[in-house]
Amino acid sequence: MTTATKQLDELISREYQHGFYTQLETDTIPRGLSEDTVRLISTKKNEPEFMLEWRLKAYWHWLTMTEPKWANVHYPPIDYQNTFYYSAPKSEKEGPRSLSEIDPELLRTYEKLGIPLKEQQKLAGVAVDAVFDSVSVATTFKTKLAELGIIFCPFSEAVQKHPDLVQQYLGTVVPYTDNFFASLNSAVFSDGSFCYIPPSVRCPMELSTYFRINAKNTGQFERTLIIADENAYVSYLEGCTAPMRDENQLHAAVVELIALKGARIKYATVQNWYPGDKNGKGGIYNFVTKRGECRGDNSHISWTQVETGSAITWKYPSVILRGDNSVGEFYSVALTNHYQQADTGTKMIHIGRNTKSTVLSKGISAGHGQNSYRGLIKVLPSAENARNYTQCDSLLLGDQCGAHTFPYIEVKNHSAKVEHEASTSRIGEDQLFYCTQRGIAPEDAVSMIVNGFCKAVFQELPMEFAVEAQKLLGVSLEGSTG
């Protein structure tokens, strides 16, 4: 083992920092999944008929599906009958009307997580919808956003207050038939965030959701739906944590983005679910379907993700470029350590004319981590002058890990220009030597190089998230230096 890898080894074996568990009274429905579970969830949420129907259709469809088997992802079978599909903090049953009604224990949890939930922290300029296990707990800044006509609320509230919008857009990007986990989510999702930006409104602040899995054996199935109407703009942030547990917990979320003519949506994720311990025990299975549709001309969707957590990550935030001149972007940093597995990437489906997509993926593998980039660039015959540029770089830290690249490029229009480049290498000895020769400690040198490696992606994150993302990588790699 070289000095560098030894240093890395020490650095990356640090403990998960968000692994505390909050003692709360919860309202949980019995384990297992059946039509009754679906009905019960819908009843608990007091949902209109169309929602129940949609959930049931999804459930019936799910029954006909088999769980996918992926070439480079390995995990023991999930027992879907031994999972809780609904768990809510009890005091929240009626729905909190103000922050003072929220269980102080819960507030302390958020404080620990560093979420700016309290009034004084609103100055930070981030509106937060926090999802704790399955239920949205609080949405800050609601009134201020309402003045602009922006709807930002828990999904369950949107179902009550804006059923037309929900009915019009739900499942139009990710249909309930889409894949095994998306179907499951459609049947049993309990909450999530809903966001609607009216025409020509530029959302003045970053909208944010914080997800946390707390209860034991709970599957978290949240659903996010964001609609940017014509010429609207929104930047959205999502963060996730979970307590340390020995069992594996399932997280199967669905995110749908819809950008109408001229609209722009930026969606950023910092995913730091519990990754399991050093020996690969426990951790979250993060099987998420995220997809955006540039439905109108000149629309623009960009995904940015920093994936450092979860035992297994399986997600391909995608963009359907339907509108002419629409733009899709995907910027990703994925770090796997210990026994983590990440299979992530994107799909860019070019349908409209002059559509452009950019993919920038940075994978870092350490320990026994397995990191795969899987991406699809598809140019349909209608997509005149489509352009794509993809760059995937992998950095290997240690000789037990793996880095894999599986790009799929399918071009059915001759005016398309598609470029893919990928490289895999280990952290450069010469770079390290250059740094140390200039008096930089090896530990700092590694952190500098890794951060430099990810810089192009971090630049796409909103400022406060970029700092958090760097800190997260720091937890894994940087040690005490910042």
Binding interface with other proteins (CB under 8 A): 5, 71-72, 379, 394, 396-399, 401-426
Beta carbons of 131 and 192 less than 8 angstroms apart = yes
Say how far apart CA 439 and CA 442 lie, in whole Å: 9
How far, in Å, are 172, 188, 311 from residue 340 at the CA level?
32, 27, 5
Q: How far is the CB of 402 from other proteins (least distance, A)?
A: 5
Say how far apart CA 393 and CA 400 lie, in whole Å: 18
Q: How far is the CB of 266 from other proteins (least distance, A)?
A: 21
Nearer to other proteins, 270 or 366 (CB): 366
| Length of the chain measured in residues | 482
Q: How far is the CB of 9 from other proteins (least distance, A)?
A: 12
Give 414-476 as a 3 state SS string: CCCEEEEEEEEEECCHHHHHHHHHCCCCHHHHHHHHHHHHHHHHHCCCCHHHHHHHHHHHHHH
Nearer to other proteins, 90 or 417 (CB): 417
Rg (CA), the chain: 22
Burial (CB count <10 Å: 0-12, 13-18, 19+), residue 64:
exposed
How far, in Å, are 369, 458, 478 from residue 283 at the CA level?
13, 25, 22
Cβ density class 11-25: b for 16+ within 10 Å, e for less: bbeeebebeeebebe
Q: How far is the CB of 409 from other proteins (least distance, A)?
A: 5
Nearer to other proteins, 272 or 370 (CB): 370
Nearer to other proteins, 181 or 373 (CB): 373
Nearer to other proteins, 345 or 462 (CB): 345
Q: How far is the CB of 427 from other proteins (least distance, A)?
A: 9
Q: How far is the CB of 152 from other proteins (least distance, A)?
A: 32
Which residue shows structure tokens 């914080």?
210
Q: How far is the CB of 160 from other proteins (least distance, A)?
A: 43
Nearer to other proteins, 250 or 334 (CB): 334
Q: How far is the CB of 393 from other proteins (least distance, A)?
A: 9
Nearer to other proteins, 278 or 426 (CB): 426
- Structure-token pair, residue 100: 């003072």
At a CB cut-off of 8 Å and minimum separation 6, what does 297 contact? 261, 262, 323, 324, 325, 326, 352
Q: How far is the CB of 65 from other proteins (least distance, A)?
A: 15
Nearer to other proteins, 160 or 358 (CB): 358
Nearer to other proteins, 148 or 422 (CB): 422
Nearer to other proteins, 193 or 298 (CB): 298
Say how far apart CA 181 and CA 253 lie, in whole Å: 8
Q: How far is the CB of 423 from other proteins (least distance, A)?
A: 4
Nearer to other proteins, 118 or 412 (CB): 412
DSSP bridge partners of 312: 285, 341
- Structure-token pair, residue 44: 């608990």
How far, in Å, are 177, 217, 344 from residue 70 at the CA level?
19, 24, 12
Say how far apart CA 219 and CA 365 lie, in whole Å: 27
Q: How far is the CB of 449 from other proteins (least distance, A)?
A: 15
Beta carbons of 333 and 419 less than 8 angstroms apart = no
